Structure 1
């Protein structure tokens, strides 16, 4: 497994293709591959510049990306763009401050089809969060396999304070 910082941009095209492969397959088949490719490529360029950004890549024996994880330490004040507004609404400002600000934020976690069932997702999460104390991530409420996986490995869902949304917040055990 390789660890990257801003040098992730050296393999941005390859990582973007792996991202598109994961996040346009079921249950994300409704996403347009070209739009997904463009949006992730732009976001990766921005995210790689964040304080504390790190990425982990594991490759198959043939050299292809098998899985990836990207993330950073969540800064305060808490953002409200992307899905962050839903998180704030769902958990409330107090829980966001207590559980998420200053914690490692797992932004993207993907395992390509050819590497599923190998324990790679767990290894990526364990590697990224092992020495960080607190960590958190979001999952789409319709990604039932991911939800079951996070629950199976002991990640916890903070008690909601607000209305249900299409995202689920998980924190490290």
Structure 2
């Protein structure tokens, strides 16, 4: 909807209260979620979407030249679980990596009150995790491995493999004829 003047439609959008509320929510979210990114060890040339969420950043290491897509979450453990991404790791949008999980076998009661199990997660160099991949505590993904979109990685994956599915399984080796 334009009255014919250049830029007037964009100016109206900027002046709308709805636009300001959205910007305020984004600023609040970035301040809350991005707070621990400052504690992470980040290599040279890393590109992070501004919507990346990092928890317990002092236990997160991101290798040189890595790219982390929008909405991705790197949640290290509260006390010991570390997340390490090798050089040139590529994470698509909405990838979720956690080094901590509730020990739901520890007893009855609300899950959120149960103790946590923490285990390091290592994502190798030159890897690619597609959109909405989930990586659970204790997993190592070998160098050069590709994980298909939507996969849930519950066990280690060897180097130079292609994995897919829930739970993720190796479907072939990289460079092998299909």
Give TM-score scaled by structure 2 length: 0.27
Give TM-score scaled by structure 1 length: 0.27
